[in-house]
Chains A and B, each alone.
Chain A
Amino acid sequence: MAEEKPASEPERKRKFAAEDATIEGKRQVPLGIILIVCGIVVVVFAIASLCIGRYSVDIQTTLAILSSPFTNADATWTTNDYNVIMNIRLPRVVAAFLVGAALALSGASYQGVFQNPLVSPDILGVSYGACVGAALSILLYMNTWQTQLFAFVGGLITVFITVSIPKFMHRHSNVMMVLSGVIVGGFMSSILGLMKYVADPETQLASITYWQLGSIAKVNFGTLSYTAPVMIIAAIVLVAMRWRLNLISLGEEEARSLGVDLKRERNIIIIASTLLTASAVSIAGTIGWVGLIIPHVTRRIVGSDNKRLLPTVILVAAAFMMLVDFCARNISGYEIPLGILTGLVGAPIFGYILIKQRDAD
């Protein structure tokens, strides 16, 4: 057949460049190899995060402490070493893994469901709702655990309101859902502003602002024992439905004519993604960019097929979040909020992707 000028060209120009992330013409690297490499990177970053800090612990001692619950080896470490590794840094490393993976996994899932590569995990207003919940608990002088619970519940209530509006109007399109998210998110943003306005500027306002900037410094295994199971179950559901995301991302009518029970499957994915985001935000505050950038970066590695993308995105995001948290702890004498660092790193990465894509075009 004679070559013809691609009719899709103007359409492509209109579309956002990063969505075309592709591995066109190249032989795909087996997913297993990619996952093994990413897994090794995660382990290396995790060990580095455990060993290095203001109080450094050598790698042999770190590994011995980590394996101590499973062996009867004599303690060759100090109590300080043990506390730093097991009670301070290990929960942070686990939290970084979970928060990064949760945000990126939900981001990739939302991007598939809403057929929009610019969608981030808070499209339905979950982050705003979580902020309102957290701010309310701070205004009521509650403790850290209660703040996390309020943030989680606030996020879920907000998304419930967001998805109820299209239902109430009997309009179930994606556009309606996104618009509903804009409405509810905007409303919650104003509520948050009001809460900040009435907050004690010396104590409460500072706490709300710091919480919003994002941190996993206060995470412990107690907190994780409540949130991790929710996150793991939601992640399993999304990974199990990863190929369905391909179908849903084709658009509503196309998906239905391929036999997708759109309402049911979309709802399951939205619920699982929301639980992941709300859990992540409740323990770490609002951390931007991860849910947007990591799926983009990962598409450049494994292509757009969600069957390959979703498992990989978990490990890439986990590694990224560990690196960010490592920098947050070690760059200066003070701990830098994670939201600031992810923005400082995420925005240039996004710009880089755009430039690379322009060159490719």
Chain B
Amino acid sequence: MASLLEVNDLAFRYSRDRGNVFEHVSFTVERGEMFTLLGPNGAGKSTLLNCIAGLAAPAEGFVHVNGEPVESYSTRELAKHIGYVRQHISVTYGYTVREYLVMGAAPRIGMFATPKEEDYERVEQAIADLELQKLADRTVSHLSGGERQRVAVARAIVQDPEVILFDEPTSALDFGNQIRVMRTCKQLTERGYAVVMTTHNPDQPILLGGKVAMLNADGTLAVGDADTTLTSERLSELYGTELHLVYVDEVDRVACVSSKL
């Protein structure tokens, strides 16, 4: 049976006369699986997500969703399979959170139609799931970064795809909100969603578990279980600085720490 998401020998370059941003990238993601894409700034993590979402065309290789090439889906059909939560949620107009959330139902609404009662029921369910009741009537552009991320996750739940892509969802958040967003991502996998998340924080795949892929600066990818793939040597090489994986008794887990400055 075909994997939910299959990325095979993928390469991307911005133009023919420029080198590959990444190449030979292959991995699969199944339902309910957490897949963390780890890499330094500029490694091409967001570009890889764009290729998976059908927003950027790879130079080589392919992306299959449920065994079908991603480009064979119409934009609307693809949105039923893949949801995308971006790093920065910027809204030009003063949409309220409810108005913003119901936009997640778009793949199931015709071009000349408007949301129906059942779509608003899904919105209310997502609001309840993520405890957004206090934000529901506020304007999205007035929310803090952490609140916006939670609202964006809620919209992905309303969209109800099989795979949800998160592009560095914690990069602009304080520590508490980072933890809250990661907890939400993990809960999504428990509900059966496949989650593909990019991050440049090596502690996050350790916390989240599941599969981890390290997108190296040379554009190649190392994939495996978080427990076995992440080593001090690999992380030090990836980030070009000395890093250590140490066991912390108090929290009963491994953590990534740097040497003294």
- Using a CB–CB distance below 8 Å, which chain B residues touch chain A? 50, 53-55, 74-80, 82-84, 86, 90-96, 99, 103-104, 106-107, 109, 111-115, 137-139, 141-146, 148, 159, 172, 174, 176-177, 180
In Å, the complex CA distance between A103 and B84 comes to 35
B93 A24 Cβ-Cβ under 8 A? no
Q: Which of A25, A116, A259, A262 has the most CB of B within 10 A?
A: A259
Question: Given the complex, which residues of B lie within 8 Å of A265, measured CB to CB?
Answer: 111
6 closest Cβ pairs, A-B complex = A259-B79, A22-B94, A7-B145, A259-B107, A304-B93, A259-B76
Is A8 in contact with B144, judged by CB distance below 8 angstroms? yes
Please indicate the chain A residues that have their CB under 8 angstroms from the CB of B76 in the complex. Answer: 259-261
User: Does B180 contact A1, Cβ atoms closer than 8 Å?
Assistant: yes
Interface bracket on A: 35 or more
Known: A20-B142, A305-B99. 12 other contacts (CB 8 A): A7-B146, A8-B144, A8-B145, A24-B139, A24-B142, A115-B92, A243-B114, A246-B99, A257-B83, A259-B77, A260-B76, A299-B93
Q: B143 touching A6 by the CB < 8 A rule?
A: yes
Tell me if A242 is interfacial: C-beta within 8 Å of chain B.
yes
Q: Which residue of B lies closest to A252 (CB)?
A: B55
Tell me how far the C-beta of B50 lies from the nearest C-beta in chain A, rounded to whole angstroms: 8
Of all chain A residues, the one with the shortest Cβ separation from B146 is A4
Is there a chain B Cβ closer than 8 Å to A335's Cβ? no
Which residues of A does B touch, CB under 8 Å?
A: 1-2, 4-8, 11-12, 15, 19-26, 112, 115-117, 240-244, 246-247, 249-251, 253-254, 256-262, 265, 299, 303-305, 307
A243→B109 contact, CB < 8 A = yes
B75 touches A24 (CB 8 A): no
Q: In the bound complex, do residue B94 and residue A299 qualify as a contact, i.e. CB atoms below 8 Å apart?
A: yes
Contact partners of A7 in chain B: CB under 8 A: 144-146, 148, 172
| Cβ–Cβ < 8 Å partners of B96 in chain A | 22-24, 303, 305
Closest chain A residue to B104 by CB distance? Answer: A258
Measured between alpha carbons, how far is A114 from B52 in the docked complex, in Å?
Answer: 26
Given contacts A242-B114, A261-B74, A303-B96, contact A250 B144 (CB under 8 A): no
In the complex, A115→B145 CA distance in Å? 21
CB A54 to nearest CB in B, in angstroms, measures: 44
- Bound: A15/B139 CA distance, A: 15
Contact A249 B92 (CB under 8 A): yes
The smallest C-beta distance from A356 to any residue of chain B, in angstroms, reads: 14
Contact at A8–B86, with CB atoms within 8 Å? Answer: no
